[in-house]
Amino acid sequence: MAGSPVVGSARPRIGVLALQGDFREHIASLTALGAEVVPLRRPEELASLQGVVIPGGESSVMDKLARSFGLAEPLSQAIHEGLPTYGTCAGMIMLSSRIQDGIDGQQTLDVLDTTVRRNAFGNQNDSFEIEIPMPDLGEAPVHAVFIRAPVVEDHGPDVQVIGALPDGRPVAVQQGNVIASAFHPEVSGEDRFHRRFLQLVADA
């Protein structure tokens, strides 16, 4: 589904949280769409960014590393203040306000009014792929790759559901400047979420 770049000469500077997980795939996807993309590891790097992506990986490890690097609190504050942000899989968990089945002491950035269930579909061997209609993103369904994925069990009234499983459970949502998906568009060649994110950046 990869297409032409979506940004012009004024390339937005996007940070991809690069503490753990598949940040390289997001860097490649956003670079292909014309953005200037840099790894994000330290709080002082936030000031130069126009948007942030939080990748898939191990949410509890990412949480611990973000706190140990002193990044969690300033990142949460920046998102609350309007910094466009997109999270996939573990990124969705980190953005959510509430976790079910998290490990002891696991924290989140608390910027998305959702309750997510961690590893909702089991372990790595229970990964799967499915086509999900998402009319907001176009006529063609989204090919969604789920790898130890979470699912949204509950959400507040300001959260828009972009896509849901056949049983109705949301797996892609947006609340203002925050987009999150339980699956991995960055590994399937699906670029419409990154395009939607870059449009948020442009609008901001």
Q: How would you class 173 by CB atoms within 10 Å of its CB: exposed for 0-12, middle for 13-18, buried for 19 or more?
A: buried
Catalytic residue chosen out of the listed positions 26, 155, 184, 194? 184
Q: How would you class 135 by CB atoms within 10 Å of its CB: exposed for 0-12, middle for 13-18, buried for 19 or more?
A: exposed
Is 64 within 8 Å of 93 (Cβ atoms)? no
Catalytic residue chosen out of the listed positions 26, 186, 190, 194? 186
Q: 25 an active-site residue?
A: no
Catalytic residue chosen out of the listed positions 89, 155, 190, 194? 89
Q: 194 an active-site residue?
A: no
Of the chain, the end-to-end C-alpha distance in Å amounts to 26
Q: 45 an active-site residue?
A: no
Q: Count of CB atoms within 10 A of residue 114's CB? A: 25
Is 180 within 8 Å of 112 (Cβ atoms)? yes
Bridge-partner residues for 175, per DSSP? Answer: 178
Length of the chain (residues): 204
**Positions marked active-site:** 89, 184, 186
